[in-house]
Structure 1
Amino acid sequence: METSIQISTDKSLLDVGIVYDFLSNQSYWAKGRSLDTIQRSIENSLCFGVYLDGKQVGFARVVTDYAVFAWIMDVFIDPNFRGLGLGKKLIHAIKSHEDLQTLYRWGLATTDAHGLYQQFGFKPLSTPHKMMEILSE
């Protein structure tokens, strides 16, 4: 039996409970993030849900001005469904989204998925000394 894979930006399809559980309880970068914060981040981002036979198994969001810049965030595939190429399909869908084709700069941060992102042209910052940040505790 063939498996049906769908990647959609339709926010009405998102299972916010799955996104919240993964980000707040399982991820290393968003541990403890509140449901309210996750809901607001979804409302204000271009979101991508990954669905396997209708069940949500992955997620990513893009913060963008739709003109020159985008930052990819909160990317995950449910650990039970990794190794099926879903992460590659997700990043491909993001990079090929019609509303993001004029962008000059893409950004993201990762601790453990450099190999995935390098396949799509991402590389370490060419001028890290120009980047600055403020981190709240």
Structure 2
Amino acid sequence: MTNAPYRFSARAGDMDREQIHAWLSLEAYWAKGRTRALQDAAIDASTNFGMFDSASGRQVAYARVVTDSVTFAWLCDVFVDPKVRGHGVGVALMENVCALLDDLHLKRVLLSTGDAHGLYEKFGFKPLAQPEKWMARTAAIPET
């Protein structure tokens, strides 16, 4: 898309790690206090996506996916810069991420959200049909 105000990228080298860490560790309720080392390790072990201001090149949104690329994916750390919320950036990010995930023909893509249900519902996400079958193992692992 030419002259569009924002562009999408799935290139790991395009991600602004400093900005991503600042957003998540300072503003995201699920990642507050996350260390830079931990965030960099998460980025390195994931598929990363970003939206960028076409004029300045500045990153304005981020998402990452943890996946085996065959059967399962976990969409996480979705964040849109508050300065551009309401301008379609989150929708554009999700359109592009979901298109790439659709190409993998995965059986299941999960996410956890405390607030953006309406956005994700536009892309086919629904509450778990049988949540009683799902379990989670959480551990008190010190962040480094």
Q: Which deviations, in whole Å up to 9, do the C-alpha atoms of 1:77-114 show, x marking residues without a partner?
A: 00000001111111111110167431010100000000
Where does structure 2 lack aligned partners over 5 or more consecutive residues? none
Counterpart Cα distance in 1 of 2:15 and 2:70 = 25
Shift of 1:9: 1.1
Where does structure 1 lack aligned partners over 5 or more consecutive residues? none
Aligned residue pairs total: 136
Counterpart Cα distance in 2 of 1:99 and 1:88 = 16
Moved over 4 A (4+): none
Among 84, 88, 93, the alignment partner of 1:85 is 88
Name the amino acid aligned to 2:18. G
Shift of 1:135: 2.0
Q: Indicate the residue corresponding to 2:43 in structure 1.
A: 42
Structure 1, 3-12 or 23-32: larger mean CA deviation: 3-12
Shift of 1:124: 0.3
Shift of 1:115: 0.2
CA-atom RMSD, angstroms? 1.4
Shift in alpha-carbon separation, 1:98–1:126, aligned structure 2, 3 A: closer
Q: Indicate the residue corresponding to 2:111 in structure 1.
A: 108
- Whether 1:57 aligns to 2:54 is no
Counterpart Cα distance in 1 of 2:101 and 2:127 = 25
TM-score normalised by structure 2 residue count: 0.90
Shift in alpha-carbon separation, 1:105–1:98, aligned structure 2, 3 A: closer
Counterpart Cα distance in 2 of 1:64 and 1:22 = 23
Q: Which deviations, in whole Å up to 9, do the C-alpha atoms of 1:51-88 show, x marking residues without a partner?
A: 01211011000000101111100000000000011111
TM-score normalised by structure 1 residue count: 0.94
